[in-house]
Homo-oligomer: A and B are copies of this chain.
Amino acid sequence: MNQPAIARSWVSHANGHSDFPLQNLPLGIFSRGSEAKRCGVAIGDAILDLEAVLAMGFFEGQAKAAVLATQGGTLNAFFALGRAARVALRERLLELLGEQSEHQAMLEGALYPASTCQLHVPAQIGDYTDFYVGIEHARNIGKLFRPDNPLLPNYKYVPIGYHGRASTIRPSGTDVRRPKGQTLPAGQSEPSFGPCARLDYELELGIWIGQGNDIGQAIPIGDAAEHIAGLCLLNDWSARDIQAWEYQPLGPFLSKSFVTTISPWVVTAEALAPLRCAQPPRPQGDPQPLSYLLDKRDQAAGAFDIELEVLLLTERMREEGGAPHRLALSNTRSMYWTVAQLVAHHSVNGCQLQPGDLFGSGTLSGATPGSYGSLLEITEGGKHPVELPNGEVRKFLEDGDEIILRARGVCDGEVSIGFGECRGRVIAAN
């Protein structure tokens, strides 16, 4: 992939400030009207239909095998092929979509405006695991309960995670029905039942698993990065009042399982390569990771420098034609563990990972106000409401509120690799 520093596409929109320049080429599953789901690649404001391009005869060898593996409307089989197939497809797409391409006229027949397409969850998610690797988030939450000792003793040794619900993962744009459940009102000893009153979002990175492992066979840390197919954004919607009452002793359950929203494009490991960075140095006194989590190459280049943003658009802002209000600007460097460490830890007990499994990173807050990835942190559990520019205030989310997550990393100094949006609007409980 020895592309010139700023390779350009004949899809002109891709050469502007799009999330999807030629350097990105994220894969997704889309459909148009009542047509079947199929694999596409985002380029500027358009989607290239890979099945149509296949039918035109433009793919051969490993790139062709890669596209064939996307048939059926999920990327699981494609993920299972691993890196070589992704790279072959990417290289061919760079040729086909680059401004030197001789096939523009034909390919335009396989290019649709993204606004005319519907995007879907890109894989059948066998298992979804949510981690807790945003150390500033863990500290902020811990402070609400234990001001003097916010991090539990295991935090700096164990990449804390738990199993999440796969059946309610939905693509960006899906409405978020306010959940009902049991909560314990302040000062009461018996619970009430009703709509969640402390509905929150969580800013997370989503991690798509590529090749898996057999049960009983741990993935060594040195190989772990090879098992990541790509990334997305993830909003781990959370019902804080339901969570507080239900989570002891086995962890969050219905407070999280009503819906989880993801951005539908898989930003591949290859597109993200320029955004890799060293794992930030650990503060003095922090323990060395145990050896099964330690790899020099991973420490040198296993983290990501990706800017993350949370925006809120209320019903009133929408009516007033106002712009969404930024609630937070954060960065993936706040991850205490790398994605490779998550893979190594998850499988060290012999747990089988499968192509199309999804990990959430946990909320990625920064260390300072303005970078907190949930309202629970921003408002300190509702004690200090956020004031919005139009005079509205929020402790937690209200019906009609829309949360928009965005992410971008700067690659080669000028081109930025974006993730597309992860959006969801809260609708009233039924």
Contact = CB atoms under 8 A, between A and B. Distances in A.
Interface string A120-131: 000000110010
A164 interface: yes
A247 B132 CA distance: 12
A181 B248 contact: no
B126 A167 contact: yes
A182 interface: yes
Interface in A243-275: 245-255, 257-259
Nearest to A179: B349
B254 A152 contact: no
B167 A354 contact: yes
A254 B348 contact: yes
Contacts of A257: 163, 349, 351
B350 A177 contact: yes
A191 B152 CA distance: 13
A357 interface: yes
A430 interface: yes
Contacts of A253: 160-163
Copies of this chain present in the complex amount to: 2
Contact of A250 (B132, B153, B351): B132
Interface string A132-172: 10000000000000000000111001101111111110100
Interface range for A:
35 or more
Given A163-B165, A250-B162, A351-B257, A170 B292 contact: no
Nearest to A167: B352
B168 A351 contact: yes
B348 A166 contact: no
B167 A127 contact: yes
A251 B249 contact: yes
A217 B168 CA distance: 12
A239 interface: yes
Given A180-B350, A182-B290, A216-B258, 19 more contacts: A127-B165, A154-B184, A154-B191, A154-B245, A157-B190, A158-B182, A160-B250, A162-B163, A162-B250, A162-B251, A165-B351, A177-B215, A179-B350, A180-B349, A193-B290, A215-B258, A216-B430, A250-B251, A254-B348
